[in-house]
Structure 1
């Protein structure tokens, strides 16, 4: 029986990072934009067989959708054309995510909805569509407490690293747990869980040979008594494997095109959209999902050490929670009391809120001492805007 392969690529740039790099390291901006622009170009002529899922953070989309940024990089990449090409649903399926790319289990729950809502609003505008079926948790940081919100936002499935799954009832084989969709439940709400194959995803990020991938997938799925879904997910613009502009040495030309040619010829490992697989093959049983994130470098991801391992990171997270509570307290007051100057209050509350959400960007924490100051800069701005808002009551 055929094996179905879902390819997922994650793209994220912190707020204004591309603009800053244009001033300090323009060649890196070229590499990043070339890595993105290379995707549709490499897939021209493969609309019958290629299937790629994309996660693009709100801050990245904000830059790509900016006329000012498009003008700055016009001689490098036609970003408007790129965004238009990514609307090709024969090749690309866009996944929902968080606007400022926060590690959702680490930030205040009361900020989850606005992170998701702002991303969806921008993506609906740029991609001319209302519906996004799948959700990519930034840094694959997932907790089952997200399920009711994801359902309310219209998502039907969510990506989860396979190492955090276990059967909720009965037994499942090693293959069944990893190579078919499942269902997870929280407080009466259910959502489909798509396991990310961690080991093959690591290979996808670092570089792999199509023949090796073919052999490895067949070996891992040979005992399946169902048509398996193998999902590999990695960053799509980091590392030489994706940024290398030499055709013989990058993911698209050295791996994916030969892989697609094999799929056309043999039909043994078939690219698929996750939604299409679910419609045809349904889902497996129920699973429990442990809270965790994907692995980065030497970090496993289960304790979020990458983002909260140092005292500086812990202090920044603590302050995020503290100031988020203060913001939402003032917003609740606004609903209960008519201010003397409502326009003044609403404006400054809006300014405070986006500074708070931006402070929650995962990169601010991940890069530790080098970037954690960005958290406090935005939190300081949040506090200043809250003070301004209070003056309007």
Structure 2
């Protein structure tokens, strides 16, 4: 007991299910590989999750449950299996048990199974436009209700656990009240973060991100792979804030998925992760430092790629869950709870908002804040990833242009589906495999053929109401004047930084500026137009590539891209931050 309050650490379990399309232009595509993949995951997609939750209920755990995210892609394909008898008919009523268990409630009346908000086609949300984020989530919500008979949660599990604060306005618009993120990006945003060097697999945090108060309880976990120290006091939901280019503040709740403990749990649950030992280290550190806050006790998710690796085996949901339940019945230090029950019992303070560094989960090349897993070969003359982002930027603009001016156009529905499918993150994740590198191109070419006549007619008639589409800018080197990778080691980075972006507009681009905000005011820098990004995949349209050198040595700055088309439409991009040393 400390301060008259029982010290208890709360945690939840999140399972993720997805399977992307192999042909971005054909939602009905099916082959032997897909047959084998789905055939090996029957339990994952039918009764494993209900079996685990039933053990929580039988054990009398009042707040226990789990959250699970299902992409729209996997639900559609499971429905197709049921209708067409694919996979030997083993999915004929695949969602029956899930629908039954979806009605189970915790003591507080919240779902034992929470179907989290998600992006329909598994997009990398930090790198797509806000309106597409909203649509991906909205489409997904409707399909969850159709498939499971319940409302999707207001908590978002972003694909790849990829989060950037610039997503917040779109998430709020889509009805999301809380987002799950990888815990290391909260730790790295502290002023005193004990950077672990090359073991961490990421560059040192950019000092512009390190704005949160210091922590006093850093601990190096033992008996589990952990590349850096963690702070138990930071493992609780809290509000995170983002200020846009117009000065408006946007906030929502952020929930940490603990990077190292979750990664180990994903290998097989209790059988892989020694819960009493590893979680006990978190508990002991809280006691040792006196950092326990009874109003906001530590809470974190054990998250996994639920239909893959050890976390996809039946032993995870059955035998190992049984061990977890038995341990919890004997150890009062910990409690398994759903996200909703925790937030209802221990709501975070909306008056206290923090900053979180951008990034994704450890499995994406350690999840760096620049999302370089999706920028492979960015420093080479040609990058398949950059090619796909440039194509997608152009296609997004065409779709949005037609939607704004002629929302009832008969080809628009097909084009929107092609666009959202082309945003699937896997088309960048597997760089170097031609079947993946060409998927965005295939979708863009098909969609361009559908929209080209209508968009050209709108532009000729002066009816273009849509401003340029601006791809989220990135900076090289990642930390100007700080550190960079060189031959696998940390080395000093050049002080000169360069900002990059793609821009496209159906009416053509009149100007593109990068606006830099410092303590002395704003400076607009004209960005250099390098023309269309070079393409090696036969794309029929692509965005233009722009760069500009950033001022050297001006410290912590904010910046955004502003673009104007020849129709007079002006757009401001998202407000970014960086330290220029």
Give the TM bin, normalised by the shorter chain. Answer: 0.7 to 0.9
TM-superposed CA distance for 1:22, in Å, is: 5.5
User: Quick one: distance in 1 between partners of 2:15 and 2:262?
Assistant: 10
User: Quick one: distance in 1 between partners of 2:392 and 2:35?
Assistant: 32
User: Quick one: distance in 2 between partners of 1:40 and 1:218?
Assistant: 28
- CA 1:24–1:41 in structure 2 vs 1: closer, same or farther (change >3 Å)? same
CA contact (8 A) 1:19 1:69 kept: no
2:384 pairs with 1:319? no
TM-superposed CA distance for 1:137, in Å, is: 0.9
1:237 alignment partner, one of 281, 288, 307: 307
User: Quick one: distance in 2 between partners of 1:207 and 1:131?
Assistant: 27
Out of 214-223 and 41-50, give the one that drifted further.
41-50
TM-superposed CA distance for 1:124, in Å, is: 2.6
CA contact (8 A) 2:270 2:316 kept: no
SS of the counterpart of 1:296?
coil
2:418 alignment partner, one of 348, 355, 358: 355
2:235 alignment partner, one of 179, 184, 187: 179
Give 1:51's aligned residue: 65
TM-superposed CA distance for 1:75, in Å, is: 3.5
User: Quick one: distance in 2 between partners of 1:320 and 1:381?
Assistant: 12
TM-superposed CA distance for 1:254, in Å, is: 4.1
1:70-219 paired onto structure 2 within 5 Å: 71-73=85-87, 75-77=89-91, 78-85=93-100, 87-90=102-105, 91-130=112-151, 132-165=153-186, 166=189, 168-173=211-216, 174=218, 175-186=231-242, 187-207=248-268, 209=270, 212-219=274-281
2:283 alignment partner, one of 195, 200, 221: 221
SS of the counterpart of 2:14?
strand
User: Quick one: distance in 2 between partners of 1:16 and 1:69?
Assistant: 20
CA contact (8 A) 1:221 1:228 kept: no
User: Quick one: distance in 2 between partners of 1:126 and 1:333?
Assistant: 33
Give 1:288's aligned residue: 355
**TM-score, structure 1 as length reference:** 0.87
SS of the counterpart of 2:410?
helix
- CA 1:231–1:24 in structure 2 vs 1: closer, same or farther (change >3 Å)? closer
TM-superposed CA distance for 1:242, in Å, is: 3.2
1:328-347 paired onto structure 2 within 5 Å: 328-334=400-406, 346-347=409-410
2:9 pairs with 1:3? yes
2:374 pairs with 1:307? yes
Out of 200-209 and 77-86, give the one that drifted further.
77-86
- CA 1:271–1:25 in structure 2 vs 1: closer, same or farther (change >3 Å)? same
Give 1:339's aligned residue: none
TM-superposed CA distance for 1:206, in Å, is: 2.1
- CA 1:251–1:301 in structure 2 vs 1: closer, same or farther (change >3 Å)? farther
Kindly indicate which of the two structures has a greater share of residues assigned to strand.
2
**TM-score, structure 2 as length reference:** 0.60
TM-superposed CA distance for 1:66, in Å, is: 3.7
- CA 1:69–1:291 in structure 2 vs 1: closer, same or farther (change >3 Å)? farther
- CA 1:68–1:51 in structure 2 vs 1: closer, same or farther (change >3 Å)? closer
TM-superposed CA distance for 1:330, in Å, is: 2.5
User: What RMSD, in angstroms, separates the aligned Cα atoms of the two structures?
Assistant: 2.7
Deviations along 1:194-232, one digit per CA (max 9) or x if unpaired, are 011100111012235467222111211321413321222
2:21 alignment partner, one of 15, 18, 23: 15
Deviations along 1:138-195, one digit per CA (max 9) or x if unpaired, are 1111111221222222222111111111355544444355321111112322111101
TM-superposed CA distance for 1:390, in Å, is: 4.5
Unaligned 5+ segments in structure 1 are 336-341
Out of 265-274 and 197-206, give the one that drifted further.
265-274
The structure with the larger Rg is: 2
TM-superposed CA distance for 1:67, in Å, is: 6.6
For this pair of structures, how many residues does the alignment match? Answer: 379
TM-superposed CA distance for 1:62, in Å, is: 1.8
User: Quick one: distance in 1 between partners of 2:128 and 2:305?
Assistant: 22
User: Quick one: distance in 2 between partners of 1:103 and 1:71?
Assistant: 32
- CA 1:26–1:351 in structure 2 vs 1: closer, same or farther (change >3 Å)? closer
CA contact (8 A) 2:53 2:66 kept: no
Give 2:486's aligned residue: none
User: Quick one: distance in 2 between partners of 1:214 and 1:13?
Assistant: 33
Deviations along 1:104-161, one digit per CA (max 9) or x if unpaired, are 1122334222112211122232233345220111111111122122222222211111
